[in-house]
Amino acid sequence: MPPARATERARRRKRKTVSFAALASILLMAMVETSGCIIVKTPPIPQNPAPISGQDELKFQVQKAIAALVDRDRRLASVQSPAVMEYTAGTQHLKAKEEIVAKRPGNLRVEAMSPFGVALLLAAQGPDLTIFEPSQNRFMRGQANADTLYKYVRIPMAPTDAVGLLIGLAPPAFDLGNDPDTVSKDGDMIVATFGKSASGTHQLGFSDGNLAMVRETGADGRINYEVRYSDYHDIGGVMFPYVVDATFPEAGSHVTFRYLRPIVNGVIPDSTFVLTPAPGATMMNLSRYHAGTFSNES
């Protein structure tokens, strides 16, 4: 029926009008209520942490490097390898091939080679040291000390420190359990300094996370020794330096060891560091010599 149809259309128009009005009212109320304080409920934007200062970043890197060095100290027990040793002091220059075996804490064996075979054989075990010179058939015994090691293997250190030097570890005197007193940059190297200049310092340098330098300075400000490490290789999961470069200002000497085929943590029997006199060998007691006798001898 026409009137009925007209009424239905009117109802539909009315409902649409009411719906539009209701929607408009809701929007208007929302605008009025929030006009004084607009609240936008959106997920918070992640905030970047405050930038770390350069000094804090260096300390963080040093802490990681020292932790890695401590872990390496726990894992590294020995090395054995042929090596090329090069020594200079004043006008003296010596280059020789050697067979080196170093086992912590202070066991050391060095065979110095000549074109004719073994020129000298040195073995240190604990406080005892023995040397054999085949060309003279001379066998010597004495205390394992810095004077004797400098005389025969060009390292003016006691065996325990010498083994650490050859393996690439911080010497026992370096207390890695404490935070460094200062941290600085030296070129591409980060340097951690322990101690104060007035009483002497111990310094560790790191490059690419590896130990790159060990330096000891006396209270007088002079460097007692400085060792540089480079050309690291991963050997069985342990990073090991193929080049050890050491300077000893007091002795006026510089010695470099270049390892050729190092074996890390191999099985090394204690007998390796014990020498037996050859038949008819001339016997000598190094302990009869005054301490320091060899400190400046070639």
Instruction: With respect to residue 190, please indicate whether it lies within any of the assigned structural domains.
Output: yes
Tell me, yes or no, whether 161 lies in a domain.
yes
Residue 191 lies in a domain: yes
Name residues whose C-beta falls within 8 Å of residue 163's C-beta, 6 or more positions apart in sequence. Answer: 102, 103, 104, 105, 106, 107, 108
For residue range 27-66, list pLDDT tens digits in order: 444 444 444 444 444 444 444 444 445 678 889 999 999 9
Q: How far does the chain reach from its first CA to its final CA, in angstroms?
A: 130
pLDDT above 90 as % of the chain = 67
Does the structure show a pLDDT above 80 at 115?
yes
pLDDT at 295: 38
DSSP-based three-state secondary structure for 286: helix
Q: Which residues pair with 22 in a beta bridge?
A: none
Pairwise pLDDT comparison (146 vs 2), residue with the higher score: 146
Residue 60's domain is classified under what CATH number? Answer: 2.50.20.10
What is residue 199's predicted lDDT score, i.e. its pLDDT? 87
Query: What pLDDT score was predicted for residue 278?
Result: 85
CB 152 within 8 A of CB 137: no
Structural domain range at position 147: 54-288
Which residue in 143, 167, 132, 149 sits closest to 277, CA to CA?
A: 132
Is 80 exceeded by the pLDDT of residue 294?
Answer: no
Quote the number of domains for the chain.
1
Query: Is pLDDT above 90 for 235?
Result: yes
pLDDT (tens digit per residue) in 2-32: 544 545 554 555 554 445 455 444 444 444 4
Residue 210 in any domain: the answer is yes
Residues 97-117, mean pLDDT to the nearest whole number: 95
Looking up tokens 């040195």 gives: 122
Mean pLDDT score across all residues of the chain: 84
- Residue at 170 is within a domain: yes
pLDDT of residue 289: 53
Give a yes or no: residue 5 inside a domain: no
Task: Check: CB of residue 200 under 8 Å from CB of residue 194.
Answer: no
Q: Is residue 45 part of a domain?
A: no
Q: Which pLDDT score is estimated for 116?
A: 87
φ, ψ of residue 219 to 5 degrees: the values are -65, -20
Q: The pTM is what?
A: 0.77
Q: Is residue 35 part of a domain?
A: no
- Quick one: average pLDDT of 189-197? 92
